[in-house]
Amino acid sequence: MTRLPDDLSIDLHYWMRLTRTMDDQLVTLWKQGRGVGTTFNQRGHEAISVAAGMALAPDDVVAPMHRDLGCYLVRGMTPRRLMANQLGRATGVTRGRDGNLHGCGDLSLNLIGFISHLPQTMPVALGAAMSFSYRSEPRVALTFVGDGSSCAGVFHESLNLAAVQRAPFVVVIENNQYAYSTPLHQQMAIDDLAVRASGHGVESRTVDGNDVEEVYGTVEAAVAKAREGGGPTLIEARTMRMLGHAIHDGAEYVPQALLDEWEARDPLLLHEEKLTSRGLVDREYLARVAEKCREIVADAVEFAESSEWPDPGTVTDGVYAA
């Protein structure tokens, strides 16, 4: 893979650090009883969500899921809005109608809100991609799915339609080894999820989901191909979900040896080592970035906790079907 520009590699680090800092703060808030609803941990997924989001052009559309906080951030959703949403406040993206990242979309930012049941966002994002083709717009749609959802019928139906239509569509499988509590070997009889694309005539790639530069380069190439009329691409990004499915899940079912193996390949720390070894940054710089991110997140928490709760009388506002 061609080495990325130095300034881009440094930017990738900033967004990964901000994602990690915000995510760690969310875990702390819930453990302190200050959260509402639930929160889904991102640890292990930062490289995938940040790199994929940054590889898109501003006019492209992306449909993140519940472990893609980094993508929301790089696409322009502010920490204040996201924190307020997580804490169920009226200033949040869904105006207090949700306590996590479900439904957390903003079409002015070309962000499609996440549909809880995976991979139901996939045909929605494909619809956006097909609309770009119909209007001859040089735009691309990208969405994320999990390893477990690659077994679902709608996953294959969407890939098939994308291939037939040669849609400008990129799908990233975040293979984090577990679908809730079900390990990969109990979900399917294959090890390489990318092969699922071949039956539909879709090009595929497998990448190290803990290498932010590899993810970026692969997604960027797939997006460029789609924009030029080359059709869809399926990318399998391999990583590990380092905590449970959500804050309530202690993940006792995950072998400690597996967690230890992946902890040694922490995507944020690996990228920091890469940057320092190249002489692009030093430890003092990394410390300054970490402090800046802590300040941004602290401000977001203060904003959220000082925001109004939603007015119960508005509960049906924005509801178009029941």
* Amino acid in position 121: T
| 1 has pLDDT over 90 | no
> What Å distances lie between residue 268 and 29, 65, 86, 200, 208, CA to CA?
22, 20, 23, 34, 13
Which pair of structure tokens corresponds to residue 114? 């996440």
Q: What is the dihedral of CA 251, 255, 258, 263, to 10 degrees?
A: 50
* Amino acid in position 266: D
| 87 has pLDDT over 70 | yes
Q: What is the mean pLDDT of residues 178-182?
A: 94
Write the DSSP string, 215-283: HHHHHHHHHHHHHTT---EEEEEE----S-SSTT---TTS-HHHHHHHHTT-HHHHHHHHHHHTTS--H
| 116 has pLDDT over 90 | no
pLDDT band at residue 313, thresholds of 50, 70 and 90? Answer: very high
Higher pLDDT, 194 or 35: 194
Q: What is the mean pLDDT of residues 72-81?
A: 97
Pairing of strands 233-238, 169-175: parallel
Percent above pLDDT 70 for the chain: 99
| 315 has pLDDT over 90 | no
Mean pLDDT of the chain, nearest integer: 95
d(CA 71, CA 93): 15
d(CA 177, CA 184): 5
d(CA 185, CA 115): 26
Q: What is the mean pLDDT of residues 280-303?
A: 98
**Rg of the chain over all Cα atoms, to the nearest angstrom:** 19
| 322 has pLDDT over 60 | no
Q: Which of 35, 108, 34, 31 is nearest to 76 (CA)?
A: 108
Which pair of structure tokens corresponds to residue 291? 């402090």
Percent above pLDDT 90 for the chain: 89
Q: What is the mean pLDDT of residues 281-304?
A: 98
Contact 77, 64 (CB under 8 A): no
Could you please state the CATH topology (level 3) that the domain comprising 6-310 is classified under. Rossmann fold (3.40.50)
The pLDDT of residue 64 is 97
Higher pLDDT, 146 or 98: 146
